[in-house]
Amino acid sequence: MSDAHIFQLIGIVYLSAGLGIIISVRFYGHLLQDYAEHPAVTYVSGLLALVVGWLLVTFHNIWVKDWPVIITVVGWIALVKGISLLVLPGIYVRICNAMKTRKALLIGEAVVVAAMGGVFAYLGYFVL
């Protein structure tokens, strides 16, 4: 899988998630509530983030002064997030509870995620 493919995949996922939250904020508020109330979902999320992070770090641990370093950074962030979700799930439950009561915080995060997705998709489809 090339750097362009990885940027395309991450870009589509981030852009879709960010726009989804912005467009359907009520649905995602309910999703956060379910996330906070069901420990199994938190656990599976941690496993998924850990696996994605491990894959990116293992197969793309490239520290260069160029765009592909972003993939490595995203991989390390996902790996740390996965480990922390499994070791300290209560922190994420508190974050979810804060975000479901403060819609502006949720929408702010969504805007950042959508913007990152747009940049990643642009890099994957038009630059690399």
Q: Quote the CA–CA distance of 19 and 89 in Å, as a whole number.
A: 26
The answer, yes or no, to whether residue 40 has pLDDT greater than 90, is: yes
Give how far Cα 49 sits from Cα of 46, 74, 77, Å: 5, 11, 9
pLDDT digits (tens, 9 = 90+) for 8-27: 999 999 999 999 999 999 99
Token readout for 38 is 């069901």
Count CB-CB contacts under 10 A for residue 39. 12
pLDDT digits (tens, 9 = 90+) for 86-95: 999 999 899 8
Q: What are the pLDDT digits (tens) for 50-102?
A: 999 999 999 999 999 999 999 999 999 999 999 999 999 999 899 888 888 88
pLDDT at 109: 94
Q: For the residues of 81-117, what is the DSSP string, one character each?
A: HHHHHHH-HHHHHHHHHHHHH-HHHHHHHHHHHHHHH
Residues 6+ apart with CB under 8 A from 85: 42, 43, 45, 46, 49, 50, 92
Q: How confident is the model at residue 36, as a pLDDT?
A: 86
Q: Dig out the tokens for 126 from the structure.
A: 């038009």
* DSSP 3-state of 13: helix
Smallest Cα–Cα separation from 120: which of 21, 9, 24, 35? 9
What single string gives the DSSP state of each residue in 53-76? Answer: HHHHHHH-----SSTTHHHHHHHH
pTM value is: 0.90
Q: For residues 106 and 100, give the distance between their C-alpha atoms in angstroms, rounded to a whole number.
A: 7
